[in-house]
Amino acid sequence: MNSNKTRGLFSIVSDTAGARVGELVQELIDILEDKINTKYVNSNLQIGLAIRCLPNSYNRNSFTRYTQKDNYLTIDFCVSLEEYEKLYKIEQKFELGKTFLEWLDKGLLNKNFLKNNPSFNKDSFIEEVLFLGKETDWFANEVDYSQELDYSAEYWEWKWLKEKQ
């Protein structure tokens, strides 16, 4: 897993075996971590997301876990490398965004997390994530293929190199 940022309230790391998920996770880190951590600087809790893109053969299960001692919520989800390799980068971004929001919502509904953090406003937190993401073309309601033009040259180079292997 990798993240070059220091830990605050909110952190994202990735563990990927391919596709473009590592790059996309880095976009999310750059968009969300510092701004969320600045807004919630006085918070005494931590939320860590691990985003994985691994082969199906790994049988990696996604999960959420809350550790009361550290007041730490872990949200760890895995997407299929085989499925993501079939998608254009913009489609990967769309699918990853949907999955990210689904798991964030699921994690923030953890009963023990809610019980130990009654003043944490889940809806406000998700609204902030959505706002920041939508400013940079994340969390759209549909795939915007016009964005693919930005990724197109990168994609064909990536595909060519992959087929060459």
Residue matched to tokens 């016009």:
146
* pLDDT beyond 60 at 6: no
Residues 39, 42, 48, CA angle at the centre, nearest 5°?
Answer: 70
- In total, how many domains does the chain have? 1
Report if residue 151 sits inside a domain. yes
Other CB atoms within a 10 A radius of the CB of residue 135 amount to 11
Residue 129: the pLDDT is 97
Does residue 2 belong to any structural domain of this protein? no
What is the rounded CA–CA span in Å between residue 70 and residue 16? 27
Is residue 5, in this structure, part of any structural domain at all?
Answer: no
Other Cβ atoms within 10 Å of 96 Cβ, number? 24
- pLDDT-derived band at 148 (thresholds 50, 70, 90) equals low
Residue 4 lies in a domain: no
Range of the domain at 133: 10-164
- 86 found inside a domain: yes
User: Is there a domain that residue 1 lies in?
Assistant: no
Hey, what amino acid is at 56? N
pLDDT tens-digit series, residues 85-109: 999 999 999 999 999 999 999 999 9
In the three-class reduction of DSSP (H, G, I as helix; E, B as strand; rest coil), residue 149 is classed as helix
The tokens for 79 are: 């997407």
Q: For residue 3, is it within any domain?
A: no
| pLDDT given for residue 19 in this prediction | 86
Residue whose C-alpha is closest to residue 82's, from 154, 16, 13, 157: 16
> Domain for residue 107, yes or no?
yes
